[in-house]
Amino acid sequence: MHDRQRRLGLAVYELAHATYRDSGAELEIAFDAGGGARAVAVTPQQRQERSMLWLNEDSPTFLVADPPAVAGQDRFRLEFRVDAHKRLTVTAYDLHRQALILDRQPVVRLA
């Protein structure tokens, strides 16, 4: 968090099962602009990135700090739950204003 920051949130990711992450290919075929194919090494970082799906990419910041946040100070207390519709929900309490600002607000639908 930074001084005067107003929008905060969390990136929510789904990780592939460990067998998928560990069974990634060492090489992949890449095509250049002319249509030529070549084998390219896949790095461990690329395999890890491909095994994660960013679930809330369209709305990663779902908390509004009003007044703006102060760096180094706790601002929100969050509680996450999964509801009957397989949605990850968040309840957020603003510690500065001492007020509930989100009550079981859906963040993402889970698979």
Closest alpha carbon to 61 in 82, 24, 90, 33: 90
- Only one residue has tokens 């460990």, namely 18
Give tens-digit pLDDT for 15-30.
775 554 455 568 778 8
What tokens does 49 get?
């990135």
What tokens does 21 get?
């992450």
User: How far is residue 31's CA from residue 84's CA, in Å, rounded to a whole number?
Assistant: 45
Give tens-digit pLDDT for 58-108.
888 889 999 999 999 999 999 999 999 999 999 999 999 999 999 999 988
Give tens-digit pLDDT for 39-60.
888 787 777 666 778 888 888 8
Q: How many residues does the chain have?
A: 111
CA triple 14-16-20, angle to 5 deg = 170
